[in-house]
Amino acid sequence: MELLERTSIEDLGFKKAFSVKYADVFENEDKNTVICVLLSDYVPIADFRDLFNRISAVVLSKNINKFVFDKRSLRTFHQPSMEWYFIEWKTAMFKHGLTVHRKILPDLAWFAKAVEIARNPLLDKFPADVRAGIDIGYRDSIEEAVIS
């Protein structure tokens, strides 16, 4: 299944921007989109931040306004990583035009519940302009996330 998904990413017109131990990152300038596919069930916070700092460089060097985050491989919900990503990284990238976020969660009811519980308090921490202008949605596949 994983190989088929990667093939479909390339079939959707994306090219690999870079790979690190825990993720593959793809870009498509015509679609103004970056896709991050996590490859591990857990990503240590230092590596998570390094990964997103590298993604930031791609966003800043291109005209990227959409980010697809495929978290299906995760089996650990690490609150400090998700808070940093949600509040700090998204706010910083919002200022550079990255306003559309699509997430693909693991098919685990407890993970979805953890996201649901954490989401509203994190949204309340966004500055008003970010909260009003950011578009966050959850999808079931990369293809669905790219087209919506």
**Phi, psi of 107, deg, nearest 5:** -85, 65
Q: What is the reported pLDDT for 146?
A: 95
Give residue 11's region: left, alpha or beta (phi > 0; psi -120 to 50): alpha
pLDDT in tens, 116-142: 888 888 888 888 899 999 999 999 999
* Number of Cβ atoms within 10 Å of the Cβ of 106: 19
Sign, Cα dihedral of 81, 141, 26, 148: negative
Q: What is the reported pLDDT for 2?
A: 46
Domain that holds residue 85: 2-147
Q: Is the pLDDT of residue 7 over 60?
A: no
Q: What is the reported pLDDT for 115?
A: 86
Q: What is the reported pLDDT for 8?
A: 80
- Counting the structural domains of the chain, the total is 1
Q: Can you read off the two tokens belonging to residue 108?
A: 């685990």
Q: What is the reported pLDDT for 63?
A: 87
Cβ atoms of residues 31 and 66 within 8 Å: yes
Q: Is the pLDDT of residue 52 over 80?
A: yes
Instruction: Identify the weakest region by mean pLDDT among 1-5, 6-10, 74-78.
Output: 1-5
For residue 10, the domain's CATH number is 3.30.750.24
pLDDT in tens, 72-121: 999 988 888 989 999 999 999 999 999 999 999 999 998 889 888 888 88
